[in-house]
Structure 1
Amino acid sequence: MSTISPRSRRARWPWVVLVIVLVLAALVVASEFVARAIVPNTVRSLVISNLDLPADQQLDVEVPGVMLPQLISGTLDEVELSSDEVTIGGITGSAHVRATDVPVAGGALGAAEGTVSIDQDEFGSLLAASQLPITRIALAAPNATVEGEVELFGRRIPVGLTVTPGAEQGDLLLTPVSLMLNGMQMDLDAVSGMIGAVGEQVTKPQRICIADRLPAGIALTGLRIEGTRAVADISADGRISIDPALLETGTCPRS
C-alpha cells in the first residue's frame, strides 16, 4: 500500500492554493462582467420610464470603478448618464449628468448635476417669455444677439441687442452689453433715459423663468455660450428618485 509522504503533500499545497485563488478570481471577474451588463441597462430603463422618454431613447450609462464592491455596499459611488439628443420639457439638446451615492435598492441620491447643450433655435424658444422683440437670434461666445423691432414715435424701428446669458436663482438671466437702434450703435444708459418704457424693455437685465420647462426637481444653476451653442448647468434634488412630484413639470409665478 503506497503512502504520500509529508514532503509530497507540502509540495502540492501551494498549487492547490493557487488553483483556488484562480477559480475565485475567475468567479469575481465573471460576476463583474454580469453586473456591468445588467446594472447600466436597469438604470437606463428606470431613467427612461421616470422621465417619460421614448423606449428607444439613446442613453448611455456608465458606472466607473469596480462594480461588485459597490453593489455589496448597496450604493453606487457614481453613475454617468449621457445622450447626444434628448427632449425634456419641449427642449432638445445633448446632455451629460453625473449622479453620486446612488442607492442600489432605491432611495434618495446623494447629488446629481450635469450640463445640457442646445442650439440657437432651442435657446430662442427659451426666450419666448421675455419682453424682448425677437425675430432672429445668433449665438457667438460669450454672447447672444437678438434682433427685432420696437415701436418708437409711431414707427417700427429695427433693434439689435447683444446680451450675456447667465442664471440667477433658477431663472435665465440676460444682461445687455450693447445695442444697435436703427442701424446705429447706442449707449445703453442714454437709450434707457431717452425712450422711456421701450428703453427699459431692451436695456435692463431680464430674468426669465424657465421652471415650467423642467421637472420640478431640476434647477438651472448656470448658463453660458460656447461657440454657437448654449450650455446650461443643471442640478437635481436628490429626492427626485423617490418623490414623483419632483418629476412633474415645474411652475412659474404669475406676473
Structure 2
Amino acid sequence: MTRAQTARRRARWPWVVLVVALVLAGLVVAGELAARAIVPSTVRSLVISNLDLPADQQLDVQTPGVLLPQLISGTLDEVRLASDDVTIGGITGSARVTATDVPITGGELGTAEGTVSIDQDEFGSLLENSELPITRIALAAPNATVEGELELFGRQIPVGLTVTPAAEDGDLLLAPVSLMLNGAQVDLGAVAGMIGGAAESITQPQRVCIADRLPAGITLTGLRIEGTRAVADISADGRITVDQALLENGTCPSP
C-alpha cells in the first residue's frame, strides 16, 4: 500500500466514525421516540385495568427523563398521573398522583403520593359517619359550613356549624369555628355547657373515619379547603400494585 493510499484511508477514518456515531444516535433517538409513544399508553392501560376504571377514562400519563436507560434498568424513575374527573373508591374528583420507582414488569412501587380535589357534594358524602345534622353544606376557604336541624328542648332548631377540616391519622378532623342556633350566632364555649347529648358533641372537634370510602392501600394525609373545593392529600402503600386487597375499600370501626 502506497503512502498516498494510506493517507486517503486515514483521511476517511474520522468520517467513518462520524457516520457510525450519527447512525447510533439516530437509533437511540428513534428508540426514545418509540418508548415515548408506547410507555405512557401502556401505563395508562395498566392503571385503568387495575383500578377497574372505564376504558375511555380520561387519564394523562407523563414519564419524565430519558426513558431508554429506565427501560433497560426495568424501573421507571417517576410516573405522573392526572385526571380531571375520576372515581376511585366511590369518591369522584380531579386527581394528581406521582409515583416513583415504578417496576415495568410488576412489583411494588417506591412511593405514590398526590392530591384529590372534590366538590361540596362529594365532601358532604364524606361526613356521613359524623354526628353532624346535615341538610346542606357550603365550602369557602378555609372552612366548611354545615346546616341542618337539631332537637333541643323538644324542638327542631335550625343549626349552622362552621368547621375547619384537616386530617389526623387517616381520619377527617373537623374543628368547630362558630355556631348558629335558630339564626343567631352563639359562643361555642358558652353553649357547650348548656346543651347535652348529641347536641353538645357538635361543639367539640370531631374525628370522622373515611377508610370505608377509600381503597385500603390509600391513606388520607392532609385536607384543606381551597375556594369552594376540598383538596385531600393522599399517600398510597407501595404494595397496592401487587396486593389486590389494598384496592378494596377499607373499613371503619363499628359505632
TM-score category by the smaller chain? over 0.9
Given that 1:193 and 1:199 are in contact with CA atoms closer than 8 Å, whether structure 2 keeps it comes out as no
Matches within 5 A, 1:1-255: 5-255=5-255
Task: Write the letter of the residue equivalent to 1:122.
Answer: E
Letter in 1 for 2:82: S
Q: Deviations over 1:147-200 (max 9, x none)?
A: 111111111111110000011111111110111111111111111110112442
Q: What do you get for the CA RMSD once the two structures are aligned?
A: 1.4
Q: Percent identity?
A: 80
Bigger mean CA deviation after superposition, 60-69 or 1-10: 1-10
- In structure 1, C-alpha distance between the alignment counterparts of 2:187 and 2:198, rounded to whole Å: 14
Q: SS where residue 233 of structure 1 aligns?
A: strand
TM-score by length of 1: 0.97
Offset of 1:116 from its aligned partner?
0.2
Q: Distance in 2 between matches of 1:216 and 1:189?
A: 37
CA distance in 2, matches of 1:9, 1:35: 38
For structure 1, the residue ranges without an aligned partner over 5 or more in a row are none
Residues 163 and 177, structure 1, Cα contact 8 Å, conserved in 2 = yes
Where does structure 1 differ by over 2 angstroms across 4 or more consecutive aligned residues?
1-4, 198-201
Alpha-carbon distance in structure 2 between the residues aligned to 1:5 and 1:60: 59
Does structure 2 conserve the Cα–Cα contact (< 8 Å) formed by 1:157 and 1:181? yes
Residue by residue over 1:113-155, the C-alpha shift from the partner in whole angstroms, topping out at 9 and shown as x without a partner, is 0000001111111111211011111100000011111111111
Residue 2 of structure 1 and its aligned partner are, at CA, apart by 9.2
- The SS at the match of 1:194 is coil
Letter in 2 for 1:211: A
- Distance in 1 of aligned mates of 2:208 and 2:67: 42
Point out where structure 2 has 5 or more consecutive residues left out of the alignment.
none
The answer to whether the 8 A contact 1:191-1:199 is kept is no
